Chain A
Amino acid sequence: MRANVRRLWTRQISSWRHAIRDKDSSVNAFICTSQPGSTSPERLPLHGAGIAVKDMICTSDMATTSSSAMLKDFTPPFDATVVGLLREAGADIVGKLNCDEFGMGSLNIHSVHGPVVNPFQTASSSSTPWVERERRSAGGSSGGSAAAVAAGMCYAALSTDTGGSTRLPASYCGVVGLKPSYGLISRWGVISFADSLDCVGVMAKSVAATKRVFNILNARDTKDPTSASLSARETASKQATQAWPTFALSDLRIGVPQEYFPSELSQEVLNPVREAIKSLRCRGATVVPVSLPCTPYALSAYYVISSAEASSNMARYDGVQYGLHVPAPPGADLTSAAAIYTQTRAAGFGSEVQKRILLGTYALTADAFDNYFLQAQRVRQLVRDDFNLVFRVPDVLSPRTPEDRPNDQGVHVLIHPSAIGTAPPLGALDADSMATYVQDVLTVPASLAGLPAISVPLVRKGEEWPVGISIVGQWGCDEMVLRVGHFLENLQ
């Protein structure tokens, strides 16, 4: 009996490792794979689950590069808290996943390891061999995570999400992607892009699998100063249960924010999203239009804040303590730290990272600070206020909420498309165009407000590429968001 279980387990693990071996050369999701370890005890909750980890999350047994030349051979001296939790739960960490350099990008094309190719193949083109499928972007920055799940190379993947880096690739690759409430999952050991926005995300093929992994990671960590307190977690989950005690669709109020249907939204996204909302209503949910008027300003606020924090976080990569070091050329002024650092930083950072460092550095200069950084912080608060006005559940973190009384007219969750289009073809991409930033427009507000958001794939037929639909809830309502995601999954 025991031997059977073990064989089954071994077969499962090797199916992921087989898939990596067979498929990854045409996907480029993995940066490195681990050696198969010993079997974990079956009583453990993630026994038998092969999980891959975005390369921005530290592993002590594998290099952690953040897809940057700067950290090409860098192996951290510790495991991230999330990696430790997965190992303790019996998961097999199968490898490290490609991403945009330091998480900066929406298409996973800014990687020293090369772009990730979306593993999706439309139903109607199945006569073409899979490896010769249309080459489209997997989305970013967690493109490797989404692609690895989509291609069956792991049970689930850890991603990060600063402004949509989990939800966008989930949408492009047709998998589930959860960005939990800010502060629920520990960031200790997660390489910072913008600390006030960074979240660890979970990706899997189903909402149930996503939830299974999320439950393991959802724990207070005293090593992370932004980890939510136990009392905040308890209050939020109590409020959520109070607001939706029956878990029935007929008791659910869903808001459709009008600002999330911009003119750039493509028809191939709009139609299936409308269908999904219609069928939710058919099953008894109350669907109401809502307005989040500050949404148009969110993107610029996001770029100022995230770039400012990024410029600060990238300052440590100077070639002195670890990572890439490019020696100064002969004759250089050895007394000037700047002259020496320039060599390493010019060679180590890719163009997108350099661009954001410059933008962020400017936003923090004495002359620009008030007009950019502080202004962006004010917009961020307005975005939060927008959400608090429409949600039924009060914001337990904000002292601005007038009372902890539920707002009866408010909605439980918001629903909107995850992206303005389907995965763009890799060849046609103009890395510098504004369009690549506009992709983030639908995902950034939840990041600014620290809210839980999940992207669930909608069913596709024939020539259709994956489309994701997003559910956003109040802070701490991750359970609720997952539950609604589960309903959406079952509609189809």
Chain B
Amino acid sequence: MRRLLVWPPQAYLIAFFLVPTLIMVASSFAWPGEEGGLSSFWVRDAQGIHFDLTFDNYRDIFTSRLFLVLFARSLGYAGLTTASCLLAAYPLALVIARSAGKYRNLLLLMVIVPFWTNFLIRIYALMIILGPQAALARILNALLDWVGLTPVSLLFSPFAVLVGMVYIYLPFMVLPLYANLEKHDPDLLDAARDLGAGSWQRFWRITFPLSLPGVMAGSALVFIPALGAFAVPDILGGTRGIMIGNVIKMQFLEARDWPFGSALSIMLTLLALVVTGLAAWLARRKVGAGV
């Protein structure tokens, strides 16, 4: 039983995730090839074969303020995105989970269908909506003008990046939340009502604590990928949109420096794991062992 459950996914991920990425982890200690790609991990000379490795890539990351700022900025954006997604997704997931059976799956599908349209196409559409000629910017700037402030540009701003990120990552929050909320027993809430709990109290004391595993799962699915995001900041961020994901992509493409790209990727992965691990630990400690 145990083997049947554990081994198929484990073997698959070892073959197509662990082994390939370990090649790149090893490469983060190698020198880059002159024309990109990977140079040999060892050299062969008169004395025989010996390894030709270096810690330079990691030293570069830790000695440069540049990369610390980048990591910090990515953390900030990922955190904000996660929080905004949670705020937007929770009511939505709750409505879906509590709606009558025959509408439930339909509503759920209605949430996900927009995301089957290509990412780039959706972002371009968002650009048109945020653009200076569109209604949104005109109304906002008319208001600002009325209050006596200078008009702002919605497109190419940190605000646009955040809207874009929330739009892209929303389903990753809605679906786990829904999967969790859907199983809550309505009898519990009825009982609380009978005991005189108000609707707010019922939410904070019962629904929310019970849904914490869903919140944690959704937050992980948004926060971790958002940390490495590069396409949204690239397109919507204007002149200051760069994040650590952009810099990693650059190492593999423009700079043709795969070892340094691998080293940066490993640091990013570790950071993501540490932050989510910490959050999970905090959540468990706060709520107690029950969740």
Partners in one complex: no
**Residues of B bordering A, CB below 8 Å:** none
**Residues of A bordering B, CB below 8 Å:** none
